[in-house]
A = this chain, B = another copy of it.
Amino acid sequence: MRGRMSKHDEGGADEPAPDFVDGETLVNFGVGKVIDSTHPEFKAGDLVWGMSGWEEYTLVSQSESLFKINHTELPLSYYTGVLGLTGLTAYAAFMDVGRPKRGDFVFVSSASGAVGHVAGQLAKIAGCYVVGSDGSDENFDLLKTKFGFDDAFNYKSETDLAAALKRCLPDGIDIYIDNVGGATLDAARLNMRRGGRVVVCGMISQYNLEEPYGLRNMYCIIPKAFRVEGFNVTGYFHMYSRFEEEMAGYIKEGKVVVVQDVVEGIGGSNRDVFREKCWEKVGGACKGVS
């Protein structure tokens, strides 16, 4: 959702989805109930999540990014987060690109965020030592008390991010799940271990800048032979079924703790109203999966 609310250059080939246009129906990920369908995999009454108009009734003509909800015993709102796009992002980014091994040292930025808090908990399940960074004291507390991170720091309280990482992960980082980019990415690079993996899922620190942060600590990628890989969840939809089963299991076993901030109502499709109200909101019914 976030990516579509920024103005992008004409060279939009970099963008997986076009910018929103004021006044048009918002089209993005949502949860709904099928009212009618000609698609063999979906029938009336099925609950689904995926790409749809954010409206009471919507017509879905492309079914590639629509998924049946199999765990209706869990809150439907989970399918907008931990069992939906951000959960799949955390899972595929960490498991497929991060390639964790038991005992790996993992760092997650924006660690209480939609992707971060799931990635961190998956890292604990995988037997890793996990450190998170966040920008508020409230969220920072959650990391250790609720999500089971081994250590955490509030990046706003640190004068030297590279030193903070060195303090929390003195032996270096095997996997960095990057949700912020910028200075944190630069600091993490200095602390990577040989053969480490940086999975770039987001760059929240960079989206609203006139001039992006200039990354200076690139050289160390050569002697340390680590890998930096951009992650785009659209390449991982084939993995959804396996992910849903595994993640639903973790949630039921209490191995993954879910915290959601649900906002009621959107208030129209105006970009600024939406931006103010929420990043994540789901609703409506899904009509006609063709």
Question: What is A's interface to B at a CB cutoff of 8 Å?
Answer: 3, 14-16, 181, 185, 194-195, 200-203, 206, 211-232, 235
Contacts and interface: CB of A to CB of B under 8 A. Distances in A.
Main secondary structure of the interface of A (DSSP, over half): loop
Given A215-B215, A216-B212, A228-B227, A222 B235 contact: no
B14 A220 contact: yes
Contact of A227 (B3, B15, B230): B230
Which residue, A215, A219, A222, has most C-beta atoms of chain B within 10 A? A222
B232 A219 contact: no
Contacts of A16: 223
Contacts of A216: 211-215
B228 A15 contact: no
A211 B222 CA distance: 18
A177 to B, nearest CB: 13
A180 to B, nearest CB: 12
A143 B226 CA distance: 30
